[in-house]
Structure 1
Amino acid sequence: MSDIDDLETIDEETPSMPAEARDLVEAIRDDTADTLQLAVRYSGEGYDIVYLREDIDEQFSDPELEEQVETLMLKGHGDPPQEGALFNFGSLNATMRFYDESLVVHFPTGEWTGLVFVLDQEAESLLDIVESHIL
């Protein structure tokens, strides 16, 4: 459906993303090509599938994939960049959700915009990437 090189456009189209998150997105793009299943850019008006690995594309029908992407977007909207009670923490740059088979990394870039990456759970290198760019 799409090529890993399509992820290059994310940098140009997310100028509001904090530098730390931008570095992490770049590292995910560069270092997890084999384990990346799906990359989605969304806004309040809809979403674009930036990358979809072939085996994942074959695994789901179009309606199933649409439902999965919409659910990922809703999860992202549940973690807004600014939390009133957590104002002293600063802005939320990323969330990670670990499932049995997949790892979901979400980067809110605005109140209704963001990026979602879904990776194979065995993407152990992602923890190293996060450690070196965020922690």
Structure 2
Amino acid sequence: MEDAAQSLAERYRTLTPDTLRLVVWYGGDEHDVIHVRDDVVEMYSPGEFEEKVKQLVVEGISDPPVQESFRLFGSMGVAVRRFEKAIVLHFPVDEFSGIAVTLDRDGSPSLDTLVDAGIDALDEVRSDQ
């Protein structure tokens, strides 16, 4: 699924190059930072940055694609969190893996555009496998 994260990062770098902050693939106890904007990584010490990434991963794992209370809706394709200054998208792949994306809120395309671009990138990689 790291290929999906790479594909998703490329799509967002094209769609919204100035507002893309971070793309992280996570699976179980592992994670890999696929993309990070220079000014974002410079905001933190290496330890602080790693802790922020881990917090992002924990948030993603807390939203698995299949949730019993919403099972009639089907599986979840994306969880969106919109903050004053940022947008966080979690694309769950299975119960313990997924892709997290953060973007600046100002200057980003609409949430529909961001969600559709992410889901399309994941679907393309899945269909190629």
The TM-score bracket by the shorter chain reads 0.7 to 0.9
Structure 1: which 4+ aligned runs deviate by more than 3 Å? 24-27, 130-134
Q: TM-score, structure 2 length as denominator?
A: 0.78
Task: Provide structure 1 residue ranges, at least 5 long, that are not aligned to the other structure.
Answer: 1-8, 15-21
Displacement of 1:25 in angstroms is: 6.7
1:28-70 per-residue CA deviation (whole Å, 9 max, x = no partner) reads 3430121101100001031000001011111111111111111
CA contact (8 A) 1:28 1:129 kept: no
**1:41-52 → structure 2 map (5 Å cutoff):** 41-52=25-36
Question: Quick one: structure 1 residues 130 and 49, their matched pair in 2 at CA, closer, same or farther if it must change by over 3 Å?
Answer: closer
1:108 aligns with 2:92: yes
Between Structure 1 and Structure 2, how many residues are aligned? 117
- Residue 123 of structure 2: aligned partner: none
CA contact (8 A) 2:16 2:108 kept: no
Please give the alpha-carbon distance, in whole angstroms, between the structure 1 residues aligned to 2:116 and 2:89.
16
Please give the alpha-carbon distance, in whole angstroms, between the structure 1 residues aligned to 2:25 and 2:115.
24
**1:83-98 → structure 2 map (5 Å cutoff):** 83-98=67-82
Question: Quick one: structure 1 residues 43 and 118, their matched pair in 2 at CA, closer, same or farther if it must change by over 3 Å?
Answer: same
- Superposed CA RMSD in Å reads 2.4
1:10 aligns with 2:3: yes
- Residue 36 of structure 1: aligned partner: 20
1:56-111 per-residue CA deviation (whole Å, 9 max, x = no partner) reads 11111111111111111111111111011211100010011111221101100111
Sequence identity of aligned pairs in percent? 34
CA contact (8 A) 2:91 2:99 kept: yes
1:56 aligns with 2:40: yes
Q: TM-score, structure 1 length as denominator?
A: 0.75
Task: Provide structure 2 residue ranges, at least 5 long, that are not aligned to the other structure.
Answer: 120-129
1:67 aligns with 2:51: yes
